[in-house]
Amino acid sequence: MDQPQNRVFSGVQPTGNLHLGNYLGAIRNFVGLQDTHECIYCVVDMHAITVWQDPKELAANTREVAAAYIAAGIDPERHIVFNQSKVAAHAELAWILNCVARIGWLNRMTQFKDKAGKDREKASVGLYAYPVLMAADILVYRATHVPVGEDQKQHLELARDTAQKFNNDFEAPDFFPQPEPLIMGPATRVMSLRDGTKKMSKSDPSDLSRITMRDSSDDIAKKIRKAQTDPEPLPETLEGLEGRAGADNLVGIYAALAGKSKAEVLAEFAGAQFSVFKPALADLAVEKLSPITNEMKRLMDDRAYIDGVLEKGAARARAIADPVVARVRELVGFI
């Protein structure tokens, strides 16, 4: 079986409130890989149900993530866009990998600890096993590169360990590649606008904590105006941002949107008060995000088109995944 050298796989959960962190940390980077890699971009609805999802909202949110991919510039003709639950090979390989990965590895996963919170006994088994399904998502395509935000680095390491152990256990050296994380740009971890020490996230109860891909220009401006900062002006150097999480976050967002480094942004705004910097950031955010959010709205109104993209994408995904699972079955000894 030939091993592709430049195959990208990544996904986003359709859990609603798609936000600027998902865009800058992941989706925008997906777009940039299309000229150099063979890309498979998935709406990971099976991951979404590891915490309760209202079925009607799940369907709408699945279409929303697909629309965001396309509106951001992913070309579903050249590359593959689909939703995970349409390709049964993910679940089949996940079961086999559940029998390869070790409980001790999963016990170290910080995202489970964060998401399960204090009442861990009541978390779903799926939430615990989430990183193994993620390993299966990547390995079922024998993908070599995985663009993700910082927060997914630990899960990627588990995918690598699982691939290695499978290859060793079944005496199939190099069958699964070691997938490389691609953590790119100055916004690999966009923080909450209400608390610069917490990741911007879909599940934060405060809508003011995130800029979403549904926000109007007014919403964006309001959220940036209300973003938590401090009374000091912007410093001249990166060291001057230390201990100023809110300021650091806004400078990082500006840098990512402008395609500059944080140092370049500081060179431009050194000494500026937030009363100057925040409106500049709001204008930039509206300029960069509005074309995408408007296109998303247009696509969301064309349900037949989105559903057609997901259907065709799933058929192409199956054509890659099914032979990999067939070989895995042989290696494991299933008849």
Give the interface with ligand AQP as residue ranges (CB under 6 A): 12-13, 15, 21-22, 25-26, 148-149, 151-152, 188-190, 199-203
Is 207 or 236 the residue whose CB approaches ligand AQP more closely?
Answer: 207
- Distance in angstroms between the alpha carbons of the first and the last residue of the chain: 20
Which of 113, 153, 199, 222 does the annotation list as catalytic? Answer: 199
* Non-local CB neighbours of 89 within 8 Å, separated by 6+ positions: 140, 318, 321, 322, 324, 325
CB of 8 vs ligand AQP, minimal distance in Å = 12
Is 55 or 173 the residue whose CB approaches ligand AQP more closely?
Answer: 55
CB of 66 vs ligand AQP, minimal distance in Å = 13
Compute the distance between CA of residue 273 and CA of residue 275 in angstroms, rounded to an integer.
5
CB of 46 vs ligand AQP, minimal distance in Å = 11
> Is 115 among the residues known to form the active site?
yes
Compute the distance between CA of residue 233 and CA of residue 14 in angstroms, rounded to an integer.
38
Cβ-closest residue to ligand AQP? 25
Nearest to 94, CA basis, from 125, 68, 64, 118: 125
> Is 260 among the residues known to form the active site?
no
Tokens 């199956």 belong to residue: 318
Compute the distance between CA of residue 275 and CA of residue 227 in angstroms, rounded to an integer.
11
> Is 278 among the residues known to form the active site?
no
Tokens 């500049």 belong to residue: 280
From residue 125, alpha-carbon distances to 35, 121, 140, 153, 161 in Å are 39, 9, 22, 21, 21
Is 196 or 235 the residue whose CB approaches ligand AQP more closely?
Answer: 196
CB of 84 vs ligand AQP, minimal distance in Å = 11
CB of 68 vs ligand AQP, minimal distance in Å = 11
Which of 86, 115, 222, 288 does the annotation list as catalytic? Answer: 115
Which of 118, 198, 202, 226 does the annotation list as catalytic? Answer: 202
Contact yes or no for 102/62 (Cβ under 8 A): no
If residue 297 lies in a helix (H) or strand (E), which one and from where to where? helix 274-300
Is 31 or 172 the residue whose CB approaches ligand AQP more closely?
Answer: 31
Is 128 or 175 the residue whose CB approaches ligand AQP more closely?
Answer: 128
- Catalytic residue list: 115, 199, 202
